[in-house]
């Protein structure tokens, strides 16, 4: 065969296979037998073997397995991926519609209702129609590059199908990757058989699959995708309505929500939500709600976004599903902060897509309040991804043979004393019993796992299994010890190959340069979550500056209240913690904050909320907002008691009235400029 002939045959084969893929995976209507498909596919592979130059990144042969990666590269979305506000009641849906109508008094509102797919949010970038990059949502701005894994999903076209209109030069397609319910059940059965921990729900299994570093393993999981939106759309006329987006996506070769509703009032929306609830259990994928979206993009633009979510859309979450089962026993789990959590060991029961055999009982008070006894029949509940919880006892099923649980007076892990403090210097009594021994192996393991976690220092491999071994073998006592581990020590551990040991060491090395907020979060200081750690990162240049700050200085920061400030100061008042910081410094970890913004840090407007309304004489609204934010202030879209200033311009409307009613300080542009320092 000549090269020209091979090229022509290759092009034919690619086109044919793509057509069959679409028919099979998107339309669910195969056009040829599996054997005939395999013949075409193998012909393609043979041809590419003979003429390697014919292999293109979007060839169907490239789906099943690029090389394993050692880590996912971060990738910035071209436009941010927002989240949605949630509602749980009919009343909230009505309020939402009324709120949007108030913002668009003149408009007739047209809404679209779609199923809320319970999967993993994904952004797919296509350049001149070719799939070039796919990423997880991450923090909304930057996600993980999981392109190789996404290429294994047949529902993602390697090349967009000839859309009726001009192909955009760059387009971002947004959707949800999921593992179909049936595949989830099968996968879990296999995992249990192999002695692995089963996934808690289909969503976790999709997330876990996408996080696999080896695309060949991902290819074995029948992941699928439903798309419902766009990010950037460059180089062609963009759609003007959500309806049009869905039609465009469908024409481009994607699976879109299988049923949508067009509604014109809150009552119509509620009827659609109800109808969806009646049919969603039959869908092949898990759903946890309905998404309500304004159809018109012009109207969407008019009302914009809050800090994290659009004002023009909302998610309605269906009530959690419940099941009844027997409580066999109660065990105590000791967490990284020493908290003793009672756990219900249950007769396994199938609930909302997965089998539950354990559920949290929260704390001793909760156990008493609900009078939960061993042997009781209990109601359990699972809301979305939340850990299943015991809601209460089915008293009618009590036989009298049930026994009360006696909460332990010592730590079941290390035998130390337990105390009911909130872990801060105030010594205040909390509801949680905590083991007071900081060297308790359960706490040590918990702290190490937390340090290595994705959201903290992101050290791949530092999960329960490895951390358990490191602690058991006395190799690591605290997070600073990780930085002294050697290849020899790691390779000597059970079920640890040299390659994994090497990867773990590389992960540890890479963690040295993480931004300061991750380190602050990773320390596991009580009440210091990722959000607080980021707020600290914005206001302080270094770790040392954080710990040098006084309680009043700390409470100046938005998101940092008395409890958090005390917790930080208390943590650092302990000699062992100060020593830990010194050892991390000696191990050359990055102590500097890339988020640090001196003008925002404790700026004159720190913690102050402004609302802008009406037309200002000289400043555009965005300019005024930027100036306020540069000095640490926050600009909000609506007036409440918490608003510090309303800046009113000409033709200020209802916000001004509300400010007057609530007694919020009202200023004009001149006064604002004065506050801004002229």
Residues that bind ligand IVH (CB under 6 A): 82-84, 114, 116-117, 121, 176, 228-229, 257, 291, 310, 313, 315
| Angle subtended at Cα 146 by Cα 145 and Cα 150, rounded to the nearest 5 degrees | 140
3-state class (DSSP) for residue 343: strand
Rounded least distance, CB 288 to ligand IVH, Å: 8
Torsion over CA of 665, 669, 671 and 677, rounded to 10 degrees?
120
Q: Which of 108, 116, 409, 655 is catalytic?
A: 116
Q: What is the DSSP string of 502-562?
A: HHHHHHHHHHTTS-HHHHHHHTT-TT--HHHHHHHHHH-SBHHHHHH--HHHHHTSTT--H
Token duo for residue 675? 């506050």
The number of C-alpha atoms within 13 Å of 406 and in the hemisphere containing its C-beta is 3
42-54: b (≥16 Cβ within 10 Å) or e:
eebeebbeebeeb
Residue 313 or 372 with smaller CB distance to ligand IVH: 313
Run of H or E residues at 627: helix 621-630
Token duo for residue 531? 């959000």
Residue 5 or 83 with smaller CB distance to ligand IVH: 83
Q: Is 101 left (phi over 0), alpha (psi -120 to 50) or beta?
A: alpha
Residue 116 or 434 with smaller CB distance to ligand IVH: 116
**Ramachandran angles phi, psi of 379, nearest 5°:** -100, 130
Rounded least distance, CB 83 to ligand IVH, Å: 5
Rounded least distance, CB 176 to ligand IVH, Å: 5
Cβ count within 10 A of residue 447: 21
- C-beta separation of 487 from 505 below 8 A: yes
The number of C-alpha atoms within 13 Å of 321 and in the hemisphere containing its C-beta is 17
Token duo for residue 476? 């690591």
Token duo for residue 262? 């067009």
Rounded least distance, CB 264 to ligand IVH, Å: 20
Long-range contacts of 2-6 (CB under 8 A, 24+ apart): 3/51, 6/47, 6/50, 6/51, 6/54
Residue 140 or 492 with smaller CB distance to ligand IVH: 140
Rounded least distance, CB 550 to ligand IVH, Å: 39
Choose among 366, 365, 362: nearest CA to 386. 362
Residue 231 or 408 with smaller CB distance to ligand IVH: 231
Rounded least distance, CB 313 to ligand IVH, Å: 6
- C-beta separation of 337 from 433 below 8 A: no
Residue whose structure tokens are 């930085």: 483
Cα(115)–Cα(109) distance, rounded to whole angstroms?
A: 20
Cα(471)–Cα(488) distance, rounded to whole angstroms?
A: 16
Token duo for residue 674? 């004065």
Q: Closest residue (Cβ) to ligand IVH?
A: 121
Residue 243 or 481 with smaller CB distance to ligand IVH: 243
**Which residues have C-beta within 8 Å of that of residue 666, sequence separation ≥ 6?**
645, 646, 648, 656, 659, 660
Residue 317 or 420 with smaller CB distance to ligand IVH: 317
Residue 173 or 557 with smaller CB distance to ligand IVH: 173
Q: What is the DSSP string of 373-394?
A: -BT-EEEEEE-TTSPPEEEEE-
Rounded least distance, CB 433 to ligand IVH, Å: 35
Instruction: Tell me if residue 116 is catalytic.
Output: yes
Rounded least distance, CB 285 to ligand IVH, Å: 10
Rounded least distance, CB 82 to ligand IVH, Å: 4
Residue whose structure tokens are 């007071």: 436
Residue 455 or 653 with smaller CB distance to ligand IVH: 455
- C-beta separation of 443 from 435 below 8 A: yes
Rounded least distance, CB 116 to ligand IVH, Å: 4
Residue 257 or 388 with smaller CB distance to ligand IVH: 257
Catalytic residue list: 116
């Amino acid at each position: 065969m000549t090269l020209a002939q091979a090229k022509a045959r290759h092009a034919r084969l690619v086109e044919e296979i793509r057509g069959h893929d679409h028919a099979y995976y998107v339309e669910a209507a195969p056009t040829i037998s599996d054997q005939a498909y395999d013949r075409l596919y193998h012909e393609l592979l043979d041809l590419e073997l003979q003429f390697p130059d014919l292999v293109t990144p979007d060839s169907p042969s490239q789906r099943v397995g690029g090389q394993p990666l050692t880590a996912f590269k971060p990738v910035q979305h071209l436009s941010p991926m927002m989240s949605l506000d949630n509602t749980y009641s009919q009343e909230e849906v009505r309020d939402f519609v009324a709120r949007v109508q108030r913002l668009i008094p003149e408009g007739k509102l047209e809404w679209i209702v779609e199923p809320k797919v319970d999967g993993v949010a994904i952004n797919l970038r296509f350049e001149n129609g070719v799939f070039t990059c796919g990423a997880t949502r991450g923090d909304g701005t930057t996600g993980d590059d999981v392109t190789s894994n996404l290429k294994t999903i047949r529902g993602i076209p390697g090349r967009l199908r000839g859309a009726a209109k001009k192909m955009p030069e760059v387009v971002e397609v947004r959707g949800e990757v999921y593992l179909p319910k049936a595949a989830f059940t099968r996968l879990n059965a296999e995992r249990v058989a192999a002695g692995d921990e089963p996934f808690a729900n289909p969503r976790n299994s999709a997330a876990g699959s996408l996080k696999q570093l080896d695309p060949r393993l991902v290819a074995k999981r029948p992941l699928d995708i439903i798309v419902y939106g766009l990010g950037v759309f460059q180089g062609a006329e963009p759609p003007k309505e959500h309806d049009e987006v869905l039609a465009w996506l469908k024409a481009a070769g994607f699976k879109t929500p299988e049923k949508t509703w067009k509604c014109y009032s809150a009552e119509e929306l509620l009827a659609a939500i109800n109808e969806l609830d009646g049919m969603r259990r039959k869908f092949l994928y898990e759903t946890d709600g309905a998404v309500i979206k304004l159809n018109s993009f012009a109207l969407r633009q008019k009302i914009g976004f809050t800090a994290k979510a659009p004002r023009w859309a909302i998610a309605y979450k269906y009530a959690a599903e419940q099941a009844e089962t027997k409580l066999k026993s109660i065990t105590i789990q000791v967490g990284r902060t020493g908290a003793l959590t009672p756990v219900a060991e249950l007769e396994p029961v199938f609930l909302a897509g997965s089998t539950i055999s354990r559920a949290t009982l929260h704390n001793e008070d909760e156990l008493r309040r609900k009078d939960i006894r061993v042997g009781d029949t209990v109601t359990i509940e699972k809301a979305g991804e939340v850990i299943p919880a015991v809601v209460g006892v089915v008293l009618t099923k009590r036989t009298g043979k049930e026994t009360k649980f006696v909460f332990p007076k010592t730590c079941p892990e290390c035998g130390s004393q337990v105390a009911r403090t909130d872990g801060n210097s105030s010594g205040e009594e909390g509801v949680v019993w905590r083991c007071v021994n900081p060297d308790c192996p359960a706490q040590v393991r918990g702290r190490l796992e937390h340090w290595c976690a994705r959201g903290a220092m992101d050290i791949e491999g530092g999960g329960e299994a490895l951390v358990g071994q490191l602690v058991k073998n006395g190799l690591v006592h605290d997070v600073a010890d990780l930085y002294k581990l050697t290849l020899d020590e790691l390779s000597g551990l059970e079920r640890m190959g040299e390659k994994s040991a090497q990867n773990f060491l590389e992960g540890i090395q890479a963690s040295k340069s993480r931004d300061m907020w991750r380190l602050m979060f990773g320390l596991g200081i009580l009440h210091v979550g990722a959000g607080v750690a980021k707020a600290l990162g914005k206001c302080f240049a270094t770790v040392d500056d954080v710990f040098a700050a006084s309680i009043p200085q700390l409470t100046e920061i938005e998101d940092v209240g008395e409890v958090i400030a005390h917790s930080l100061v208390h943590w650092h008042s302990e000699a062992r913690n100060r020593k830990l910081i010194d050892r991390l410094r000696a191990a050359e970890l990055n102590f500097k904050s890339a988020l640090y913004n001196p003008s925002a840090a404790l700026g004159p407007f720190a913690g102050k909320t402004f609302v802008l309304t009406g037309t200002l004489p000289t400043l555009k609204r965005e300019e005024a907002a930027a100036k306020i934010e540069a000095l640490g202030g926050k600009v909000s879209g609506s007036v409440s008691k918490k608003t510090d200033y309303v800046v009113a311009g000409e033709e200020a409307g209802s916000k001004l009235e509300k400010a007057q009613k609530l007694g919020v300080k009202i200023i004009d542009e001149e006064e604002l400029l004065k506050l801004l320092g002229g």
